[in-house]
Chains A and B, each alone.
Chain A
């Protein structure tokens, strides 16, 4: 079983839709959690860190559920520019980083 698992998608949604991604992790000692976006084999870019209390940045909301060991990302009012692959990242107790394989999102006009 992979340490960090994501639904690979693809998710194809119309502009304006709300879409949610989930990510599960297996190491209960994991300390920090992040969402990155990656465009077409370019470098990943930080979208947001995920805090225990949940956090929001504009149209993006991230949640952490430590008891069930999953994190989520909600995108509201999807834009064409949101089309990308979304990567879930978990920092372990040894400061190592584990990436999910990514969820591909395509937003269509």
Chain B
């Protein structure tokens, strides 16, 4: 089954404790992306990657890191989480060839930073 998986689905942590949210896709997609969704603000792009070893900042990259060492995986790293990073996070992937950039989303990770 074609899918994007994220782990963990729910996470409660404390300020400053480093964490990683994993994202994996089994569709051989080139494009992968992380978003956060906050009430009233919609989804905002954090980072995206066009392919292995290529990453770019999105709209709200501050406080986050990513890496793309393998095509299927795109982890999101919060080196020192803060309460303003409490949010619902989605990972997504898509092809860059036709039909291009039609994204498949993971189920989401609900993060609470206290």
Interface residues of A (CB under 8 A from B): 32, 34, 36, 41-46, 49, 87, 91, 94-102
Cα–Cα, bound, A98→B58 (Å)? 9
* Interface 9-residue window, one of B39-47, B62-70, B77-85: B39-47
A43 touches B105 (CB 8 A): yes
**B86 on interface, CB distance cutoff 8 Å:** no
Is the C-beta of B31 less than 8 angstroms from some C-beta in chain A?
Answer: yes
CB distance from B107 to the nearest CB of A (A): 6
Q: A43-B108, A44-B90, A101-B42 are in contact. Are A34 and B59 (CB under 8 A)?
A: no
Contact mask for chain B residues 88-111; partner A; CB cutoff 8 A; 1 contact, 0 none: 101000000001111111111000
B7 CB to nearest chain A CB (Å): 14
Closest A residue, CB atoms, query B45? A97
Given contacts A41-B37, A95-B48, A97-B33, 18 further A-B contacts (CB under 8 A): A41-B88, A41-B108, A42-B107, A43-B107, A43-B108, A49-B102, A91-B101, A95-B50, A96-B48, A96-B58, A97-B35, A97-B48, A97-B101, A98-B45, A99-B42, A99-B45, A101-B40, A102-B42
